[in-house]
Structures are given as C-alpha cells and as structure tokens.
C-alpha cells in the first residue's frame, strides 16, 4: 500500500491580475481617444463656420443651431460607442435614430458645402462601426447620408456649380473612407485585446478546474485501496469476535494501524498541496508590483535559510502583503525584507509601502485579518501599522518552531473527531 501522495502543481488565479487589468484599461483608453477624435471633428465644422461668420459681422444663428444639433448627435454616440466596446452586437435603436436625425438636421444649417460634407463623412465613419451583426442598416445609412448633400445642393448652395459640388462631394467621400479605415483599425485592435484577455481568463478557469479534478483523482487513488482493505479487515474482525477473539483483536489492531497510515498520507498530501515556494512567491509578487508601477526591492532572502515550515508561512505573508499593496494603496515603492531576530532567532518578514490610502483598516479584522489569525494560530506574531513617514508596514515574526507535522493529531487542517480518536 505504498502509494505516492498527490504532487501539487501551481493553480493559476481565475481573475485577472492588477497588471492585466491595467493593460486592459490602457487599451480601452487608447481606443476611446482614437475613436472620439472623429466626433470632435464633427463638431469642429460648425464651430469654424460660426467663428468665420461672426468675424464678418453676420449673426451666426444658423451655425449656432447646427452646433447644438451636432453636439446632441455626438452625445447620443457616447453610449453607443461604450456598448460597442463592451462587445454588444447591435446599438440601442433610440439613441441610434436620435443621432442620425440630429446629424442630418444639423448639417443642413451649415452654409458652406465643404463643412457639411466633411461633418457627414466624419460622423458616418463612426456610425458604420456600431453594428457587429447584419450589414443592411449600415448600407442604407451610408447610401442615404451620401445622397443628402445632393438633395440639399439646389436649395442651400445654388451658387455652386454642379462640377464644383461633385468635386467637394468626392473629397468628402475620400475623407470618410480615411476616417472609416482609422476607426476600423482602432476597433479591431480593441476587439483583439478584449478577446485575448477573455481567452486568458477562460484558460485560467479551465486550469483551475483541471487542477481540482487532478487532485480529486489523486486522492481517490490514494484512499481507494486503503478504504477497501480497511472495510475487508474490519468485516473479518467482526466475524471473528465470537469465534476467535484473539484473531479478532489482531485484525482490529491492524485496522487501527491501516487507518492511521491512511490518515497520515491524506494529511501529508493536503499539506504538500498547500505548500508555497518562498523564492517563487517573492519573484511573482515583485513582478506583479512592477507591472502595476510599483518598484519592489527584496532584501535578506538569500541569507535567511528558512526551514520548510518557515518558508511556507513566509510565502503566505509575502503574498498577502503584495495583495494589500495592490488593493489598498497607490504605492510607487515597496520593500520586502527578511531577517532574524538576534534575540530569539525567529525569522522576521516585513512588507512596507508608501502612499497607503487613508481609512484602510489595518487591525486584526481588517485587510490582514485572515493572515493574522493563521500566524497567531501557529505561534507567530503580526503587526500592521502606519509609520511616521506615512508608510504602511506589515511585520510578521514567524513561529520559533515548525508547523504541526501533517501526521500529527494536532494538525489544524484536520481537526480530530470522535472517529479519529477511536482510530488512534
């Protein structure tokens, strides 16, 4: 029955890290800035015409009306763009229709044909990207918008010849194509980034599920034969109680030994599964902080020479401390230090950072509450304070002795029950 204990493997987090969220926010902002340039250009034309009209001493009421209508159209485009960046297939119909009607009405109040055609080109290049599904509505919108200048020409610009207006219209089409291609690149890049992060999260969740299945399978392999043998030997001992008491006592003693051995292996397997590698954890936390814009320095790790028990608990302290830095501060620097108390010889782990946010609870029930309970239960001490310089300092004195061994009855991971007491 010498079976190997399950070998733990690192379980990736199913949630994005701080660095990943930061990259995603950066990509979203870059896409938004690039796309929002086009609606700004739509508003720019009535502003230019209004300034020119006022410089010539004219009232400019027509340009003012156009500006108000086009501002309303771009305001309606805001939620539509946000929905498109969230991946929605179709825009909100009411906002879409409102933007269309306001834009068509707004350009008809412009007195310069070049400005009207340019405003329509910039606006249309964005509106055509709001549909991820069918193409019928975008095609209809593009055709009608392209025809509007020709419908308005005889009424609003009779002084412009047909040839000159055709040149202006062609230039507007070329401008619209350029704007459309620019928006296409921006939206396509955003879709790639968003899909990549979604795939990464799905991969992490799948890895977590696979790891849980693997550990369950390993535990089943570990316990299956032991439990079968225990059941068989216990039944044999029960049958021999009246016929052969001496043999029954021998069988019962062997059942007890088998049960204790099985319990020891389960405890060893779970304890090993939960072990953390200190050096790897320090590197991971430092890399995560650096990606989030926090400069991390590590001192004293090389000369610490911790026992396996100390290394496991120290790794948890570093992980919790790094998480607190990311969640509860806007830190630019973080220091992770390891040392030994010269008086007691106990290992000391410190995690400190600047720019801690005010109001964060640092007491036993706060952000370090779970870690404080674990450290206290295992015989260590934890303190979390704000220094005079305004830094946040997490200091943990690790227990002087080792953790309870996996096969010890006092292991906190497997509290004893009456049945376990009988096995002993």
Which of residues 180, 198, 216 is at a domain's end? 198
| 420 within a domain of the structure (yes/no) | no
Claim to verify: residue 284 and residue 263 sit in the same structural domain = no
Claim to verify: residue 255 and residue 366 sit in the same structural domain = no
Claim to verify: residue 285 and residue 328 sit in the same structural domain = yes
Claim to verify: residue 146 and residue 188 sit in the same structural domain = yes
Claim to verify: residue 283 and residue 260 sit in the same structural domain = no
| 411 within a domain of the structure (yes/no) | no
**Which CATH number goes with the domain that contains 262?**
1.20.5
- Provide the CB-side half-sphere exposure for 134 (13 A, CA): 4
Which of residues 198, 223, 238 is at a domain's end? 198
Claim to verify: residue 297 and residue 257 sit in the same structural domain = no
pLDDT at 298: 92
Claim to verify: residue 66 and residue 168 sit in the same structural domain = yes
| 12 within a domain of the structure (yes/no) | no
Instruction: Classify residue 336 by its DSSP letter.
Output: E
| 404 within a domain of the structure (yes/no) | no
Q: How far is the C-alpha of 135 from the C-alpha of 61, rounded, in Å?
A: 38
Q: How far is the C-alpha of 394 from the C-alpha of 127, rounded, in Å?
A: 52
Which of 404, 423, 419, 422 is closest to 267 using CA atoms?
404
User: What global pTM score does this model have?
Assistant: 0.50
- In terms of phi and psi (left: phi > 0; alpha: psi -120 to 50; beta: otherwise), the region of 106 is alpha
Claim to verify: residue 246 and residue 316 sit in the same structural domain = no
Total domains in the fold of the chain:
3
- By residue range, what is the domain housing residue 312? 278-397
| 224 within a domain of the structure (yes/no) | yes
| 1 within a domain of the structure (yes/no) | no
Tell me the DSSP string of 357-376: PTT---STTTTTHHHHHHHH
Claim to verify: residue 191 and residue 114 sit in the same structural domain = yes
In 86-161, which ranges are continuous DSSP H helix?
A: 93-107, 113-127, 136-156
Claim to verify: residue 192 and residue 59 sit in the same structural domain = yes
| 245 within a domain of the structure (yes/no) | yes
**133 SS3 class:** coil
| 219 within a domain of the structure (yes/no) | yes
pLDDT at 420: 38
Contact 353, 384 (CB under 8 A): no
Claim to verify: residue 194 and residue 45 sit in the same structural domain = yes
Claim to verify: residue 213 and residue 358 sit in the same structural domain = no
**Which CATH number goes with the domain that contains 375?**
3.30.565.10
Contact 230, 256 (CB under 8 A): no
- Consecutive sets of 10 residues in the chain, 424 residues long: mean pLDDT of each? 43 50 72 77 90 87 93 90 79 89 93 92 88 76 92 90 93 91 84 77 72 70 71 78 79 80 71 68 85 86 84 88 85 92 89 80 52 84 86 89 42 40 36
Both structure tokens of 284 = 């991971």
Which of residues 273, 300, 322 is at a domain's end? 273
Q: How far is the C-alpha of 279 from the C-alpha of 272, rounded, in Å?
A: 17
Say how many C-beta atoms besides its own lie within 10 A of residue 12's C-beta. 15
Q: How far is the C-alpha of 10 from the C-alpha of 208, rounded, in Å?
A: 9
């Amino acid at each position: 029955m010498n079976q190997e204990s399950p070998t733990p493997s690192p379980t990736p987090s199913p949630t994005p890290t701080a660095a990943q969220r930061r990259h995603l926010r950066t990509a979203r902002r870059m896409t938004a800035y690039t796309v929002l340039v086009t609606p700004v250009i739509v508003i720019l034309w009535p502003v230019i015409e209004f300034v020119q009209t006022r410089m010539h001493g004219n009232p400019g009421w027509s340009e003012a009306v156009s500006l108000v209508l086009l501002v309303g159209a771009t305001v309606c485009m805001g939620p539509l763009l946000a929905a498109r960046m969230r991946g929605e297939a179709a825009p909100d119909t009411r906002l879409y229709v409102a933007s269309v009607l306001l834009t068509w009405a707004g350009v008809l109040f412009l007195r310069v044909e070049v400005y009207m055609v340019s405003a329509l080109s910039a606006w249309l290049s964005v509106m055509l990207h709001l549909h991820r599904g069918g193409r019928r509505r975008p095609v209809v919108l593009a055709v009608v918008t392209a025809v509007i200048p020709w419908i308005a020409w005889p009424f609003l610009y009779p002084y412009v010849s047909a040839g000159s207006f055709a040149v202006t219209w062609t230039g507007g089409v070329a401008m619209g194509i350029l704007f459309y291609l620019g928006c296409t690149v921006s939206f396509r890049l955003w879709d790639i980034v968003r899909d990549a992060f979604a795939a990464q999260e799905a991969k992490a969740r799948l890895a977590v599920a696979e790891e849980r299945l693997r550990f369950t399978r390993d535990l089943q392999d570990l316990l299956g034969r032991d439990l079968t043998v225990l059941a068989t030997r216990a039944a044999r001992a029960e049958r021999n109680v009246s016929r052969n008491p001496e043999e029954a006592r021998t069988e019962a003693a062997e059942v007890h030994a088998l049960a204790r051995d099985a319990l020891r292996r389960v405890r060893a397997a779970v304890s090993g599964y939960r072990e953390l590698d200190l050096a790897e954890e320090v590197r991971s936390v430092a890399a995560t902080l650096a990606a989030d814009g926090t400069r991390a320095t590590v001192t004293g790790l090389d000369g610490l020479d911790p026992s396996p028990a100390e290394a496991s608990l120290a790794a948890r302290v570093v992980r919790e401390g790094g998480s607190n830095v990311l969640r509860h501060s806007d830190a630019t620097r973080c220091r992770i230090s390891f040392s030994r108390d010269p008086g007691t010889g106990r290992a000391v782990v410190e995690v400190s950072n600047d720019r801690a946010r005010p109001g964060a609870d640092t007491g036993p029930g706060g952000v370090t509450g779970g870690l404080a309970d674990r450290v206290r239960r295992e015989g260590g001490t934890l303190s979390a304070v704000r220094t005079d310089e305004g830094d946040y300092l997490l200091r943990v004195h690790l227990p002087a002795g080792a953790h309870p061994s996996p096969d010890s009855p006092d292991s906190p991971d497997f509290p004893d029950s009456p049945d376990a007491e009988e096995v002993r």
